[in-house]
Amino acid sequence: MDELLKLLARYVEQRIKKEMTIPRARFSKVGGISKGNYNFVASGNLRNSVKAFVEGEDIVVVMNDYGVDYVFSDLAQQSGYEGGSWPGRGRYAPPDTRAVKGTYSPLLAALEKWVNSKLQISGAKAKSIAFAVRTNLFKAGYKGLPLITEKLENDILNELDELLGREEFAELMVEDILDRINIFAQRDYDLTIGE
């Protein structure tokens, strides 16, 4: 059973990474305005952070916190978040705007870094684009998108059927495999292990 789960975990990791590369329509939280296609792969950090491994009789998938908390709505809801982005109301919101006048916003710095890696633009033009993106995010935000689609679930079940068709796994009985796949933010997983 352990070897079967290891092979399936490897497949789940690769399949989730592939799912992140599929462009999907993205919409604003306010007004449902189309924001074009989104493929979750700007710098590749989120996709590269996905790791799947076996723990007991479960498959654990871990990724960067922002993927679970903000980007993927189905994962965010399991963690008690809404999903999507509201940076103006999130961790970048200063507690007192008077205290930060004249300083460079951490959100602008993060967005400028994103513009550098995604668009390969730097300098004043990158700052200008970062400011425009920040303004738009504060105004409308982005809806989160689900990661675990019906197609992804079916692909995992098909891979399990294929693995069970192998001679070395023919005698195994595996039930409710989708319930055995648990996805955590890296922070949440580290907290669980530390306790």
More confident residue, 93 or 1: 1
Angle at alpha carbon of residue 128, lines to 46 and 113, rounded to 5°: 25
Q: Residue 14's Cα: distance from chain center in Å? A: 14
In the chain, the amino acid numbered 178 is: L
Q: What is this structure's pTM?
A: 0.70
Distance, CA of 151 to CA of 158 (rounded, Å): 10
- Average pLDDT value over all residues in the chain: 78
Residue pointed to by tokens 């491994």:
53
Average pLDDT score over residue span 106-117:
83
Q: Which of 25, 35, 23, 42 is nearest to 140 (CA)?
A: 35
Looking at the chain, the whole-number percentage of residues with pLDDT higher than 90 is 16
Ramachandran assignment for 33, one of left (phi > 0), alpha (psi -120 to 50 degrees), beta (any other)? beta
Distance, CA of 40 to CA of 19 (rounded, Å): 9
DSSP states along 134-150? HHHHHHH-B--B-SS-H
pLDDT band at 91 (very low <50, low <70, confident <90, very high): very low
pLDDT, one tens digit per residue, over 5-62 is 899 999 999 999 999 888 888 887 776 778 778 777 777 888 999 999 999 888 899 9
Q: Strands (DSSP E) along the chain, which ranges?
A: 24-27, 34-38, 51-55, 58-63, 181-185
Neighbour-count burial of 83, counting CB atoms closer than 10 A to its CB (0-12 exposed, 13-18 middle, 19+ buried): buried
CB of 61 within 8 A of CB of 183?
yes
Distance, CA of 19 to CA of 23 (rounded, Å): 9
